[in-house]
Structure 1
Amino acid sequence: MLDTTPLTQAVDHFADRLRAAPQSRLQRSAAAEALGLAKELARRAQLLEDPSAEPRDMPDAGMFAVADQITVAAHDLAVVLSDEEELAQAVTLVQEAQQRAGV
């Protein structure tokens, strides 16, 4: 079984920073960046679960929900990951999104 702790820790840290960010920061770019990350993580999880199905798009639930959205998407992905390389890519995605979000 793959230890996905690096992914869950990275996304939990990003989510905590989003929850602590002022509304102005969320409006500028952080929320959009986090939503993009949540959509990509969810897409990857769905493709790993069922490669033959068309991935469903994660909806925009608003800037105050993006922390929860990235958390749910990352934890869903963590459950289906089985490859170290896929894990490393997911952690990199989270770290890069957090850097672009500026939180």
Structure 2
Amino acid sequence: MTEVTELLTAVDRLADRLRAMPQSALTQGAAAQGLALARELARRAQRLEAPDAEPRLMPEAGVFMVADQLAVAGHDLAEILRRTSGGADQAAEALRLVTETARGIGPGTR
């Protein structure tokens, strides 16, 4: 089993940060960055669960839903990685993506 606590913590912090942002910050790019990350995490989770299937694209549900989309995608990936033997490298890579996105969105995100 793979340890995913750091990944979950980073995902939850970024989702909380997005939830607290004003609409102006979300529409100026924060929501787009959050959605891109959510889509990437969801794609990775789908690839692990069904390697032969084409991943489905997470829909755009609006700027106020991005935080929830990120949380769901991040938690789904973490759960799959937790059950995956040898998933530590993938968990570390996902954590890196979350951390980089948080830095790109603005101060107070880590």
TM-score strictly above 0.5: yes
> Aligned residues, how many?
103
Counterpart in the other structure of 2:91: 87
The percent identity for this pair of structures is: 56
CA distance in 2, matches of 1:95, 1:66: 17
CA distance in 2, matches of 1:74, 1:25: 22
Q: Check if 1:27 corresponds to 2:27.
A: yes
Spell out the pairing of 1:1-103 with structure 2 (5 A cutoff). Answer: 1-81=1-81, 82=84, 83-102=87-106, 103=109
The 4+ residue runs of structure 1 with deviation greater than 3 A are none
Unaligned runs of 5+ in 1: none
- What TM-score, normalized to structure 1? 0.96
CA distance in 2, matches of 1:41, 1:5: 16
Unaligned runs of 5+ in 2: none
- What TM-score, normalized to structure 2? 0.91
